[in-house]
Amino acid sequence: MSRKKVIVKKKDRKDKANQEYKKHTKRFQTVRGMRDILPQDQPYWQKIRRVVEKVAHDFNYQRIDMPIVEFVELFEKGTGSTTDIVEKEMFKFKTRGGDNVCLRPEGTPSVVRAYLQHGMQSYSKPVKLFYIGPMYRYDRPQEGRFREFFHFGFEAIGERDAILDAQLIQLALRIFKSIGLKNISLQLNSIGCRECRTNYNNLLTSYFNNRKKALCMDCKKRLKKNPLRILDCKEEKCTHVVFQAPQTIDHLCSECKGHFTMLLECLDEIEVSYAINPCLVRGLDYYTKTVFEFWPQEFEDGAQSSLGGGGRYDYLVKTLGGSDTPAVGFACGIDRMVLEMRKQDTKAYYPSSPKVYLAQLGNLAKKKSLKIFEELERNGIMVAESFGKGNLGSQFRQANQLGVSIVLILGQREALDETVILKDMESGSQEVVTFEQVTKEVKKRINKNAKSAKRTVARKSGRRNKRKK
């Protein structure tokens, strides 16, 4: 066999091996539209979760966790059979028992289902609930939009007064401010109730029928099913037509007009800025009266930029089998909020770092270290360690990287004597203490170092103030 043929055969084998490798590695990647939230990203997510929990407590909202899998009919009836979510975006499948189920695409119908299923109608009104969790929509992935995405949401069920709408907006803005987001624009509109919306829909249908050729294919279908949703279309050709369409707030009944006026007066009272956006309708069928969204101010339109939104849904409880019950709520996308936090360079949440490092050498020392570690943790002292490492040098390097102020060293001799070498990383001094003394001595050193750090900060601050004078 010629040398040339041998080289070609080797190359073919190599190419085949590369193809096999790529084939197998691709199998173990995330599914399109899904992703991992890595440790370096978690501080942003953790900050949002902590703020949401704190604000929920301050406003007296109680947490509810709903299942990820629900019956398809819940969203067909609740969200609307003609919405994009139901028509195009739901992850639907059949169970082995033949039930039509889906991965939940949003939270509000699930909350209302839980409200009815568990007899919350008997609770004092309004029933205030909030949730945090994943949602699923089979949509085209893009920046800030994944097929698995995360929402937090707040729902107040059982009260029709516009002051609840205002308070929920106030709550949402408190969350944005506490997270550190600035320049968030509140977009407001009222889409009326069933009574006044019928006349408005007729007017809208007439307007769009005269301009049907200028609409996109989706909006031509919406014209027959729900003309109001054309106002929410982000296609450029449709936005030009929508711009001159009749506005909802000009065709409200007296009750809806009074409700919207009360909302605006409440927002003025608490000095919340807002922009009335006549094209804002939201993409879900259950909304009535108030609708609102939160946009970063650098965006001039809401296309793919809304951080969240909501509104009033006074008919949803009845639609899903309950009595006539008003309600209002909103939800925000955590994925997009994290993106905005990064853009605005806001501070993430980093938990307290450990002040103590536990270094050990030898099997007996490792065993004894577990007991010391547990004792320190039980007394509220955060401890870093690396039980898998047997080399003291590598453990000290890790202690330096973590910036701890105290290192506890436990070797074979110390393990036998039941003592620990306590090394102060600030001064470099070290002393031997017994197992019984170690917690007390560590606490004393931590307090001493904390006081020393405060004095240093105070001295530096004093020098800065003198320079300014």
What is residue 463's predicted lDDT score, i.e. its pLDDT? 59
Asked whether residue 428 is assigned to any structural domain, the reply reads yes
What is residue 243's predicted lDDT score, i.e. its pLDDT? 81
Q: Residue 16 belongs to what H/E stretch?
A: helix 3-27
Looking at 343, 374, 400, the residue that finishes a domain is 343
Q: How far apart are CA 439 and CA 155, in angstroms?
A: 47
What is residue 324's predicted lDDT score, i.e. its pLDDT? 94
Asked whether residue 22 is assigned to any structural domain, the reply reads no
Long-range contacts formed by 201-208: CB under 8 A, 24+ apart: 201/227, 201/228, 203/246, 203/251, 204/228, 204/230, 204/245, 204/246, 207/245, 207/246, 208/241, 208/245
Residues 76, 172 within the same domain: yes
CB 222 within 8 A of CB 88: no
Residues 363, 458 within the same domain: yes
Residues 166, 301 within the same domain: yes
Asked whether residue 6 is assigned to any structural domain, the reply reads no
Residues 361, 338 within the same domain: no
What is residue 456's predicted lDDT score, i.e. its pLDDT? 61
Q: What is the tally of structural domains in the chain?
A: 2
Looking at 315, 343, 371, the residue that finishes a domain is 343
For the CA atoms of 347, 349, 351, 352, what is the dihedral angle to 10 degrees?
Answer: 20
Domain range enclosing 370 = 356-468
Helices (H) and strands (E) in the chain, counts: 16, 16
CATH code of the domain containing 380: 3.40.50.800
Asked whether residue 454 is assigned to any structural domain, the reply reads yes
- Give the E-state strand segments of 3-126 in sequence order: 62-63, 69-71, 91-94, 100-103
Place of tokens 């907006």: 169
Residues 379, 460 within the same domain: yes
Look up the pTM and report it. 0.81
Residues 168, 307 within the same domain: yes
pLDDT digits (tens, 9 = 90+) for 66-104: 999 999 999 998 887 767 777 778 999 999 999 999 999
Q: How far apart are CA 279 and CA 405, in angstroms?
A: 59
Asked whether residue 318 is assigned to any structural domain, the reply reads yes
What is residue 344's predicted lDDT score, i.e. its pLDDT? 93
CB 292 within 8 A of CB 189: yes
Write the DSSP string, 112-126: HHHHHHTTGGGSPSS
Residues 59, 93 within the same domain: yes
The DSSP call for residue 142 is: B
CB 230 within 8 A of CB 238: yes
Q: What is the mean pLDDT of each run of 10 residues along the chain (469 residues)?
A: 54 65 68 92 95 96 97 90 77 94 95 97 96 92 85 97 96 96 95 89 86 84 82 81 86 94 96 92 85 83 74 95 96 95 91 86 87 88 80 85 88 90 84 90 82 64 58
Asked whether residue 403 is assigned to any structural domain, the reply reads yes
Q: Which residues pair with 129 in a beta bridge?
A: 62, 155
Residues 52, 116 within the same domain: yes
Residues 160, 303 within the same domain: yes
Residues 6 or more apart from 72 whose CB is under 8 A from it? 90, 92, 100, 101, 102
Q: In what order do the strands lie in the sheet with 383-385?
A: 383-385, 356-360, 406-410, 419-424, 430-434
Asked whether residue 453 is assigned to any structural domain, the reply reads yes
Residues 381, 316 within the same domain: no
What is residue 398's predicted lDDT score, i.e. its pLDDT? 87
What is residue 302's predicted lDDT score, i.e. its pLDDT? 45
For CA atoms 381, 385, 391, 393, the dihedral sign is negative
Looking at 343, 374, 401, the residue that finishes a domain is 343
pLDDT digits (tens, 9 = 90+) for 20-50: 656 655 568 888 999 999 999 999 999 999 9
Asked whether residue 46 is assigned to any structural domain, the reply reads yes
Q: Which residues pair with 69 in a beta bridge?
A: 103
Q: How far apart are CA 412 and CA 40, in angstroms?
A: 37
Residues 278, 138 within the same domain: yes
Residues 6 or more apart from 347 whose CB is under 8 A from it? 47, 180
Residues 317, 362 within the same domain: no
CATH code of the domain containing 133: 3.30.930.10
